[in-house]
Amino acid sequence: MSTRNKLQKFAEVLAFPNVFENFNAKDNILVGKDGQQVDFSNGWNDLFFKNDNPIILELACGRGEYSLELARRYPDKNFIGVDIKGARIWQGATFALKEKLGNIAFLRTRIEHISDFFKEGEIDEIWITFPDPFLRKSKANRRLTSPHFINHYRKILKQNGIVNLKTDSPQLYEYSMETLSSDDKCTILYTKDDIYKDELEYPDLDIKTYYEKMHLEDNRKIKYIRFSTHPQPFP
């Protein structure tokens, strides 16, 4: 994508009513349509969605493919796609506006600041689909299932909240299993190293992003972990 196209999309997304952005990592200020500062201290349902429906996040959402499909399937739930790439968010937000999906929004920020923009226990569920596995050991703390990130999720998830990880990376899958198993507050609820080997245990696993389709064409196995960041009854 050319720099010109990116700059044009950055400008256009500022006028979108379903996109909120944090421009300065040193503060937790969000701006919405036309650069207006917004205050989500009372929660996203109070200010944006205007209902009490469950809120589900998609982290590193890219073009928001998973969030968009979930929003279509579940009009009685609210969805927020989170990513730092404005040009990618532009695509997801554009589709949402064209389809008049009022139960989806997009948040442009770094995921390590995610707990700054939600109330404690506000989120019901998180999806992490095909994140960068950051294979170098020196970058392990950037993996979205590292202890650093899990602690952020723990702050904003409800006590019975769920995190879903889909990945094609054996290394990230193994790392995530080890990390979660060593955290006495986490509960692994379900795991499978090849979800398409048998009938899908959870129906929403059938949503395929652009990257997943590429991985399947390369005959990669899609792996899945479902877990809670809080202690749960034995699954």
Residues labelled catalytic: 132
Torsion of the alpha carbons at 77, 57, 232 and 206, rounded to the nearest 10: 80
Residue in the structure block whose two tokens are 């200010």: 47
Relative to beta strand 187-192, strand 223-228 is: antiparallel
Helix, strand, coil shares of the chain, percent, nearest 5, are: 35, 25, 40
For the chain, where are the alpha helices, taking DSSP H only? Answer: 3-13, 44, 65-73, 86-98, 147-156, 170-181, 210-217
CA gap 164, 222 in Å, rounded: 13
Alpha-carbon distance of 45 to 51, in angstroms, equals 5
